[in-house]
Structure 1
């Protein structure tokens, strides 16, 4: 016999994810960023701040995004002057990514906004440390 929808972990996760995504989209809208733009901008910024000049494959891998979609979004971020795509001297087919000063400032502001939204969204969780452990376990599968 099938589970009732409110007894299905996958169905509940889907609904929780939708609510969380709406909250994140709401805090990113005033910054003129979509959620995926935020993820790729901040991933590039984080890699840059740790001494890396990643190519698009490295950013996609770190972010867990599709490479082709990543390329399209990175072009949009470049058009907004948030990142620079520079020819890789070792492989002229590849582009190295650097966040601009404007992009770095926006990334930091966006991270603060998203972290505040996360804190508000997850405030009712009784054991946030256990939740993080469970989410990491699921993500590592």
Structure 2
């Protein structure tokens, strides 16, 4: 056991860290993610997969050619993480990937009808959870205003 540790000081710092904003943000995010996760289990999908599908749908609506790189960048996800999500989505039949004719390293993505239906249904279910979790519009606006200061 460490002999020169100032346990009193360490304990006080620990207590102060527990009252920092990051602690509350972490707890709220984890609670929200658990509730959303329960809903998404019935769709046999994850929050990350839904986020990817929503991003693809948005890009397709805009008439853009969708690439894995564009989606990963838009969502701020590392390339290797995104690759795993795309493989899973393709295996489930939610997307079709093809190699770009212009750049063999680039993969184009198209949302399938099955993927579009999942986005519509799962997103509606997630919005119900979200509205139940954050019911007060005035509080939400204030929270968003405060959080945007840290962007």
User: TM over 0.5: same fold?
Assistant: yes
Q: 1:80 aligns with which of 92, 101, 105?
A: 92
CA distance in 2, matches of 1:10, 1:27: 26
Mapped to 1, the partners of 2:38 and 2:90 lie a distance apart of: 23
Query: Once the 2 structures are TM-superposed, how far is the Cα of residue 53 of structure 1 from its aligned partner?
Result: 2.2
Q: Note if 1:31 corresponds to 2:43.
A: yes
Q: Which residue of 2 aligns with 1:59?
A: 71
| Mapped partners of 2:146, 2:99: distance in 1 | 41
Asked whether 1:11 is paired with 2:23, we answer yes
Gaps of 5+ in 1: none
Q: 1:99 to 1:119 in 2, by over 3 A?
A: same
TM-score w.r.t. the length of structure 1 is 0.89
User: Equivalent residue for 1:104?
Assistant: 116
Q: What TM-score do you get using the length of structure 2 for normalisation?
A: 0.84
Higher alpha-carbon Rg: 2
- The alignment's C-alpha RMSD in Å is 1.6
- Superposition misfits of 4+ residues, deviation over 6 angstroms: none
**Distance change >3 Å, CA 134–CA 51, structure 1 → 2:** farther
Structure 2 distance, partners of 1:4, 1:61, is 32
* Gapped regions of structure 2 (runs ≥ 5): 1-11
**8 Å CA contact 2:17, 2:23 repeated in 1:** no
User: Can you list the C-alpha shifts for 1:31-82, whole angstroms capped at 9, x where unaligned?
Assistant: 0101111111111112111111221111011112121110111011000110
- Structure 2: distance between partners of 1:124 and 1:76: 36
3-state secondary structure, aligned to 1:81: coil
The count of residues paired between Structure 1 and Structure 2 equals 138
Question: How far apart in 1 are the matches of 2:148 and 2:59?
Answer: 21
Change (3 A) 1:125 1:14: farther
